[in-house]
């Protein structure tokens, strides 16, 4: 989750604070170059923030950003809130 979106050359500004922690993404089989999250992504204990986008990183020793994108609508959370992206709400595609 990011509070400022990145671009092709620069990563966004990742949420920090509270109990925020990166989550493991699971996706369904791709069809026509698109897929989505196959399970809810739950970020508990968020810090007060406005989340504007999502970035997906691998889990290598030196992580590599694989995908990024803006949310359709930014989400403002208060300290301690939960932010949930329900299954199938994170659409990933290659154009």
Strand partners, 31: 34
Q: pLDDT > 70: what percent of the chain?
A: 100
**19-54 burial code (b ≥16 CB/10 A, e <16):** ebeeeebeeeeeeeeebebeeebebeebbebebbbb
pLDDT at 79: 98
pLDDT at 34: 95
pLDDT at 57: 96
Give me the mean pLDDT over the 7-16 stretch: 97
pLDDT at 94: 83
Per residue in 13-42, pLDDT (tens digit) is 999 999 999 999 999 999 999 999 999 999
Residue 24 CB contacts under 8 Å (≥ 6 apart), including other chains = none
Dist CA 5 CA 52 (whole Å): 7
pLDDT higher than threshold 80 for residue 58: yes
């Amino acid at each position: 989750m990011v509070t400022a979106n990145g671009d092709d050359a620069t990563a966004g500004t990742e949420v920090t604070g509270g109990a925020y922690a990166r989550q493991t993404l699971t996706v369904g089989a791709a069809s026509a170059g698109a897929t989505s999250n196959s399970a809810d992504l739950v970020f508990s204990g968020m810090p007060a923030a406005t989340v504007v986008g999502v970035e997906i990183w691998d889990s290598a020793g030196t992580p590599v950003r694989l995908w990024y994108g803006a949310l359709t609508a930014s989400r403002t959370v208060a300290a301690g809130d939960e932010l949930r992206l329900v299954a199938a709400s994170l659409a990933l595609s290659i154009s």
